[in-house]
Amino acid sequence: MHDLDFLRTLAVQAAHQAYAPYSKLRVGAALRSAAGHAYTGCNVENASYPVGGCAERAAIAAAVQAEGPGFRLQAIAVAAFGSDGAALPVSPCGACRQSLIEFGADAAVTFRQSDDGWMEVKAGELLPFRFILPSR
Ligand code: THU
């Protein structure tokens, strides 16, 4: 199985762990680190809405926790499902794009499109005018 297909399968599984009683959108993410390991995350919502977190950044947190500050992102898949269980096209939000680029601007990002195919794009392409902390 191609690694992106494997990550897509893991992302689907992770989405089913989501805690999303408010939006009812269950999101899963699965990434491959440059070191060759896979990590997953799901969205975790909260009654105080802004306290909730995205699947992609949960997966990144798991990777950093496991590998430390040397973690580099090689590829990530995102999968989402609605309350009826149907797969939905969801691409990483702006905050997650900034976070993905932090760990790998050249990383492959794959997510479902509206035609049910899978988009494959580099993280850097998702956020061309990303924030870069000026050094002074
Ligand atoms: N969500 C993610 O997990 N990842 C994204 O990139 C976009 C949005 C979650 C957050 C929230 O729990 C739900 O989707 C609806 O916004």
DSSP H or E run through 103: helix 94-103
| Residue bearing the CA closest to ligand 1, atom 15 | 23
What number of helices (H) and strands (E) belong to the chain? 4, 6
Report the pLDDT value the prediction gives residue 116, as an integer from 0 to 100. 84
Kindly state if the Cβ of 43 falls inside 6 Å of ligand 1: yes
DSSP H or E run through 106: none
- Sign of the CA dihedral with 110 first, then 113, 117, and 122 last: negative
Report the pLDDT value the prediction gives residue 2, as an integer from 0 to 100. 80
Give the closest residue to 31 by CA, choosing from 53, 50, 55. 55
Give me the CATH code for the 4-126 domain, please.
3.40.140.10
Collapsed DSSP state (helix, strand, coil) of residue 51: helix
* Residue 96 known to bind ligand: yes
The ranges of the chain with pLDDT < 50 are none
Cα–Cα distances in angstroms (integers) from residue 24 to residues 21, 54, 132, in the given order: 5, 13, 34
Q: Parse the chain into domains and list their residue ranges.
A: 4-126
Q: How far apart (Å, rounded) are the C-alpha atoms in residues 24 and 13?
A: 16
Q: How far does the centroid of ligand 1 lie from the alpha carbon of residue 79, in Å?
A: 11
Report the pLDDT value the prediction gives residue 136, as an integer from 0 to 100. 83
Report the pLDDT value the prediction gives residue 1, as an integer from 0 to 100. 67
Report the pLDDT value the prediction gives residue 125, as an integer from 0 to 100. 98
Query: What phi and psi, each to the nearest 5 degrees, are found at residue 3?
Result: -60, -35
Report the pLDDT value the prediction gives residue 73, as an integer from 0 to 100. 98
Report the pLDDT value the prediction gives residue 103, as an integer from 0 to 100. 98
Q: For residues 1 and 32, is the Cβ–Cβ distance under 8 A?
A: no
pTM of the model: 0.97
